[in-house]
Amino acid sequence: MIGEKRFKKVAFTLIETIVVFFIVCSMFLIIHPLVNSTHRYLERDDSIDLVVLINELESERHSFTLKNCKRDSLVLFSGKENKDYILSSYKKMLRFTPGHMPLLLGVNSCWFEKEGKFIKIHLNHNGHNYNGKVYLNDYDKKSK
C-alpha cells in the first residue's frame, strides 16, 4: 500500500455521460409538444370567437330582442328567460350582466352601432380588429 497511488476522478465516465444525454433528450421530448401547442394557440384565428359570439346572440336559446343600443353596451331582452341582459366590455372581456357571464376574453375595446335591424359590433380582440353584424328584432313592450 505504500507505493500505490490513488487516482482522483477528474472526468465523467461514459455511463454518466450517456445518462445525462438520456435525461436531456427526455426533457426535450416532454417540453417540445408543449411549446408547439402554445405556439399554435397563439397563432390561431380569433375571428372564430366573434362568430361564436354572434351565434350566441342570435340563438333561439335566449330569443334576444334589442331594447337599447348604446355605443358601449347593448340592452337585450331574453324572451325565453323573461329578463334583461346587458352586453358590455368590462376588464378586457365582453360579458353579460346581471351576474358575471364572460363571453369573450382578451377584448381591448368594443363598441356597437345600430344599423336597421342589425347591430354592428366593432371589436379589438387580442390586438386584431374585427367587425360583425348581429340580427336582432326590436323589443316590443306590447307583446311581452
pLDDT in tens, 67-123: 999 999 999 999 888 999 999 999 989 998 888 888 888 889 999 999 988 999 998
d(CA 144, CA 140): 7
**pTM: predicted TM-score of the whole model, two decimal places:** 0.63
| Contact assessment for residue 122 and residue 110, using Cβ atoms and an 8 Å cutoff | yes
The pLDDT score that the predictor gives to residue 3 is 59
**What per-residue confidence (pLDDT) applies to 122?**
92
Distance CA 75, CA 109 (A): 18
pLDDT per residue as tens digits for the range 26-72: 999 998 888 877 767 656 655 677 888 888 888 888 889 999 999 99
Question: Which comes out higher in pLDDT, residue 139 or 84?
Answer: 84
The dihedral through the CA atoms of 20, 26, 32, 37 has a sign that is: negative
Pair 63, 78: CB distance under 8 Å: yes
CA distance 137 to 144: 13
